[in-house]
């Protein structure tokens, strides 16, 4: 990806101008990074640099992330957009002279030579970290989750609205106009929890929750898939969620994020993934679970569609 070459030149500008209408932390973010950049993969000196870029990417809007990283809406990878932004198309990055490969939720260390052969013998590879990224279900339990991250109460964190598209104007109004579609569409608002642990002599565990706002379609009643139509999106939420363990709330690190006000507005945008909270710890937190408390509204309407298909979702999680 040639665009990665330009990352260091423009990253400071991107972050300092970080979508003021996405979240209102009141914090000015500044990046000074010594990360080397290559056309085929990111390169880090150590896990601290990796975690620093991961944190910065977590705060970016989707358009900025797609322009300046490996993130793409078309990639089918069950990790946050921030992790997708770091992983190249082979799910790799460099760290301390080694190739780090992501496969099925785990990071493995590879030598530069004979990468294909090493990948075929995954059982003998050195595991150096892992990441899980899973939707929190309405009962507050993450299916198949082995990290212990759950919601503390049975809140509904998945709101959906199915509709029949009547009209869509491409390219934010400058392209062709599509008519009624036989496909079913639906807006989906949900919360995803991510638990990242990275290797090295001093393990670091990062817990994050994200709001996902997306549009899906279903061709002939098959599996729901992401749909690329752009739309009007307005998000205005208050967020009082926090991570707790058996003893109560977990004290955040000074670099952690707790977005009390989550605001986004665009007349023509695509799927959004917005960071709600993050907690960093020097190791796994026993009994970690999210106490989710989000209230407000999310409004969506496909660009050019009829007004009756506008959905105002009143969030009370």
Confidence check: pLDDT of 9 > 50: no
Q: Can you tell me the mean pLDDT for 207-212? A: 94
Q: Can you tell me the mean pLDDT for 132-154? A: 60
Q: Can you tell me the mean pLDDT for 257-274? A: 93
* Residue-level pLDDT at 190: 93
Whole-number mean pLDDT of the chain? Answer: 82
What's the residue count for the chain? 317
* Residue-level pLDDT at 125: 93
* Residue-level pLDDT at 74: 83
* Residue-level pLDDT at 137: 65
* Residue-level pLDDT at 244: 86
Angle at 134 between CA 43 and CA 82, to 5 degrees: 25
- Stretch (H or E) spanning 37: strand 36-37
What share of the chain in percent tops pLDDT 90? 55
* Residue-level pLDDT at 208: 94
Confidence check: pLDDT of 160 > 90: yes
Q: How confident is the model at residue 255 (pLDDT cuts 50, 70, 90)?
A: confident
* Residue-level pLDDT at 264: 96
Q: Can you tell me the mean pLDDT for 95-112? A: 93
* Residue-level pLDDT at 188: 95
The model's pTM: 0.83
* Residue-level pLDDT at 115: 87
224 class by beta-carbon count within 10 Å (0-12 exposed, 13-18 middle, 19+ buried): middle
95 class by beta-carbon count within 10 Å (0-12 exposed, 13-18 middle, 19+ buried): buried
Q: Bridge-partner residues for 275, per DSSP? A: 210
Domains held by the chain: number: 1
**What one-character DSSP code corresponds to residue 85?**
H
Q: How far is CA 41 from CA 8, 100, 132, in A?
A: 13, 10, 22
Q: How confident is the model at residue 36 (pLDDT cuts 50, 70, 90)?
A: very low
* Residue-level pLDDT at 2: 35
Q: How confident is the model at residue 156 (pLDDT cuts 50, 70, 90)?
A: low
Q: What is the residue range of 256's domain?
A: 2-316
Q: How confident is the model at residue 201 (pLDDT cuts 50, 70, 90)?
A: low
pLDDT digits (tens, 9 = 90+) for 281-315: 888 888 888 888 999 999 999 999 999 999 999 99
Buried b / exposed e along 179-190 (16+ C-beta atoms within 10 A)? eeeeebbbbbbb
Q: Can you tell me the mean pLDDT for 33-55? A: 78
| Half-sphere exposure at residue 282, Cβ-oriented, CA atoms within 13 angstroms | 2
Tokens, residue 85: 């932004």
Q: How far is CA 39 from CA 74, 93, 108, in A?
A: 20, 11, 21
* Residue-level pLDDT at 249: 83
Q: Can you tell me the mean pLDDT for 114-141? A: 83
């Amino acid at each position: 990806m040639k665009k990665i070459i330009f990352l260091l030149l423009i990253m400071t500008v991107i972050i300092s101008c970080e979508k003021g209408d996405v979240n209102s932390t009141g914090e000015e973010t500044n990046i000074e990074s010594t990360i080397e950049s290559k056309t085929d993969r990111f390169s880090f000196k150590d896990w601290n640099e990796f975690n620093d870029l991961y944190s910065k990417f977590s705060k970016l809007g989707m358009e900025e992330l797609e322009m300046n990283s490996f993130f793409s809406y078309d990639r089918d990878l069950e990790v946050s957009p921030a992790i997708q932004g770091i992983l190249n198309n082979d799910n790799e990055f460099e760290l301390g002279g080694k190739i780090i490969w992501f496969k099925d939720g785990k990071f493995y260390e590879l030598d530069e030579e004979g990468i294909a052969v090493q990948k075929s013998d995954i059982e003998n590879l050195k595991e150096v970290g892992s990441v899980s990224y899973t939707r929190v279900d309405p009962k507050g339990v993450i299916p198949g989750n082995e990290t212990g991250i759950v919601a503390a109460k049975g809140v509904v964190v998945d709101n959906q609205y199915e509709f029949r598209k009547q009209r869509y104007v491409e390219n934010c109004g400058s392209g062709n106009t599509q008519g009624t579609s036989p496909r079913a569409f639906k807006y989906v608002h949900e919360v995803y929890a991510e638990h990242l642990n990275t290797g090295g002599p001093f393990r670091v565990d990062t817990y994050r929750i994200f709001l996902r706002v997306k549009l899906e379609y279903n061709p002939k009643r098959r599996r729901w898939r992401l749909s690329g139509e752009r739309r009007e999106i307005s998000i205005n939420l208050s967020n009082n969620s926090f991570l707790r363990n058996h003893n109560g709330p977990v004290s955040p690190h000074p670099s952690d994020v707790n977005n009390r006000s989550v605001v986004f507005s665009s007349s023509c945008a695509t799927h959004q993934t917005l960071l709600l909270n993050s907690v960093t710890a020097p190791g796994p937190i026993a009994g970690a679970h999210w106490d989710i408390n989000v209230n407000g509204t999310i409004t969506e309407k496909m660009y050019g569609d009829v007004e009756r298909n506008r959905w105002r979702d009143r969030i009370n999680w």
